[in-house]
Amino acid sequence: MNEKTKKFRRRAEARPDEVLDAALAMFVEKGFAATKVDEVARAAGVSKGLVYLYFPSKEALLEGIVQRALAPIADHAVDSLAQIAGDPREAITQLLTMLCRHLADPAKLAVPKLILSEVSRFPELAVMYRREVLDKVRPALETLLARGVANGHLRPIDPEMAVRSVIGPLLAHLAMSELFDLRPADGLALERLLKNHLDILFYGISEARP
């Protein structure tokens, strides 16, 4: 294979990511409903036909964005939760720290922000987000909490409801900040949120104060 052929192949392999980058930028700028596929194609520097070659619909573009940005994070979270056999507070800390670290990246924050802003008009986005993210992480976290109760690290709690207490404040914080423009004075302040949340959470579910 000559150098010209190698460069062409690398370029072809990069095109789906270039299309997704352009689609995310357009969805954030104009909204999902207002964005047209030919606008995504122009922004990506490709033909409309090439966009459809990789992504047969605008919904497929958004699904590709979610799968690329968030599904690997969810898969990694599930693996990490499964490996913790002792105190579940360690796994919860690792999980929420990882999520906050990713959300500190504007490119990754743009994805959940987009879904939050569009989900009321396009409920199928919630179905997709649940399938790719929540349906993976929620059962693993629920199992972790149940195991923590069984081995005495956590006081008797309802694991199914406790999952909402673990994840809910982060989702509420994003909604308040990105949808209602209610941010702390220092911006999104994810580090402060995480520290405060873990302090309240752990003293509420722990069997004994450390």
Q: What is the pLDDT of residues 24-81, one digit of tens each?
A: 999 988 888 899 999 999 999 999 999 999 999 998 998 888 888 877 888 888 887 7
Q: Is the pLDDT of residue 19 over 60?
A: yes
Query: 19: burial class by Cβ within 10 Å (0-12, 13-18, 19+)?
Result: buried
Is 125 in contact with 119 (CB distance < 8 Å)? yes
